[in-house]
Amino acid sequence: MSAKRRAVIVAARRTAVTPRGGALSHLQADELAAPVLTRLIRDAGLTPGNVDHVLLGNALYGGGNPARLAALRAGLPQSVPALTIDTQCCSGLDAILMGARMIEAGAADCVLAGGTESFSRSPIRMRRPRTTDEDPVAYDRPPFAPPPFTDPDLAEAAAGLAQRMGISRKRQSDFAVRSHHRALAAEKATQDNLVFVDGGPGRDSFTRALSEKVAERAPVLAGVEETGVTAATIACEADGAAAVLLLAEDHPAAQAAPVLRILDDVSLGGDPADPALVPIAVAKALFSKGGIASRDLAVVELMEAYAVQAMVTAERLDLDLGSLNPLGGALARGHPIGASGAILAVQLFERLIRQETPTEGARSMGMALIAAAGGLGSGVLVEASVNKGG
């Protein structure tokens, strides 16, 4: 049996992440993504004509195909197809996994994949009247699970998880403080690798020197009981884009520099009432497929939509806090839904390739994990490599 055709990440970039209504609020999702795609092609030493496909995750668009808009804005040939994926928070990582699977199947050699989101420019949602005497009805989000499944507001689900697990407000606040401090410590080393967009900042503008005292005084969000789920322990709504350039491992352009080899990926479904727990099953499946344990991972990029969700996942998987989100997490950045999973992949590349250039023979593995509304979870296992091809 021939060896599996593997996909490798040869370049990874993202914009700064800014809160809803912030410095990126004047840009549509495709306008955020286009400069990232352009930069990736340049980073890899390729031309737009080398790209076989564009895949982008997006959760809040009102129709159309933002991936196609971004591809055309980025100057890709009209002949290059583009697909927008919506699996809510998993969208950006799922786009990368789908791109890798296309390469593994021999359907493409070069794929641009990631995610983009503008909370600020997302359309206002209304349900169309069924009869002439009805008015349109505005809504904040669509259903993520149909009856008879439970379809909780995600903040309420997080509050319920904190209550069941007995995770105090102070522990959640401390986790959020740690996320901000790590992001601040990494800021100078990482900001040169951000893609600047029109009018955007050169840093993640929500990141700050959050203190324990301020975090513990953060207001509890409306409708959520006093369970530690506060404005400090929930990732803020945000705008941003992130993507990677994937190549077949034997592609000539994959031989020029260290790469992230995609070893395995898993997408699973679980209980819609407890979406935060699905990444635990995803990680265990990746451990089993790879024959590894959590201690074998140099870096774990775990989505911090809610502090309690990340804390429970880390505890259940026995993750080393030293290797968990070493550059800070979404509690410090914000949560541009369709882009968040792709940001995790970019952070893996940043830590394992840009900051710790791999050497031949050394093995350094990382994992990205994310949950999504409706009871979905996705993860990827990667290895930093000096690529020899084949």
| Domain hosting residue 241, numbered range | 7-123+234-385
Q: Say if 79 falls within a structural domain.
A: yes
Active site residue 335: yes
In a domain, residue 192? The reply is: no
* CATH number for the domain that contains residue 263: 3.40.47.10
Q: Which helix (H) or strand (E) holds 126?
A: strand 126-127
CA dihedral (340, 199, 48, 67) in degrees, to 10, reads 40
User: Which pLDDT value is given to residue 353?
Assistant: 93
pTM beyond 0.85: the answer is yes
Is residue 164 one of the residues assigned to a domain? no
DSSP 222-283: TT--SSS-BTTSBPPBEEEEEEEEEEETTSGGGGSS-EEEEEEEEEEE--TT-GGGHHHHHH
The domain tally of the chain equals 1
The runs of H, that is alpha helices, within 18-168 are 29-43, 66-73, 91-104, 154-165
Helix, strand, coil abundance in the chain, percent, nearest 5 = 35, 20, 40
Rounded Cα distance between 128 and 288, Å, is 47
Which listed residue (89, 90, 110, 236) is catalytic?
Answer: 89
Residue 27, in any domain of the structure: yes
Bridge partners, residue 84, by sequence: 56
Catalytic residue among 53, 180, 251, 335: 335
Residues in the chain, total: 390
Contact indicator for 151, 143 with CB cutoff of 8 Å: yes
**Spatial distance between the Cα atoms of 308 and 317, rounded to a whole number of angstroms:** 14
Contact 117, 60 (CB under 8 A): yes
Q: What's residue 390's pLDDT?
A: 41
pLDDT of residue 357: 67
What gap in Å lies between CA 381 and CA 365, rounded to an integer? Answer: 7
Closest CA to 379 of 313, 333, 315, 330: 313
The enclosing H or E element of 261 equals strand 259-269
**DSSP type of residue 4:** P
Does 143 reside within a domain?
A: no
- Mean pLDDT of each 10-residue bin along the chain, 390 residues long: 81 97 96 98 96 97 92 98 97 98 97 98 90 90 92 90 92 96 93 88 93 89 81 96 97 88 96 94 96 95 97 96 95 97 97 79 87 96 75
Torsion angles phi and psi, residue 305, rounded to 5: -65, -40
Q: What pLDDT does residue 189 have?
A: 86
- Placement of tokens 């005292």 in the chain: 213
Please tell me whether residue 230 adopts helix, strand or coil conformation. strand
Q: Tell me what pLDDT residue 1 has.
A: 43
- Taking the C-alpha atoms of residue 149 and residue 152, their distance in angstroms, rounded to an integer, is 9
Instruction: Give the span between the Cα atoms of 292 and 5, in whole angstroms.
Output: 21
Q: Is residue 328 part of a domain?
A: yes
Indicate whether 130 belongs to any domain: no
Preceding peptide of 252 cis, ω within 30°:
no
Residue 382 CA to chain centroid, in angstroms?
15
Active site residue 181: no
- Of 200, 183, 272, 202, the residue nearest 175 (C-alpha): 183
Residue 2 lies in a domain: no
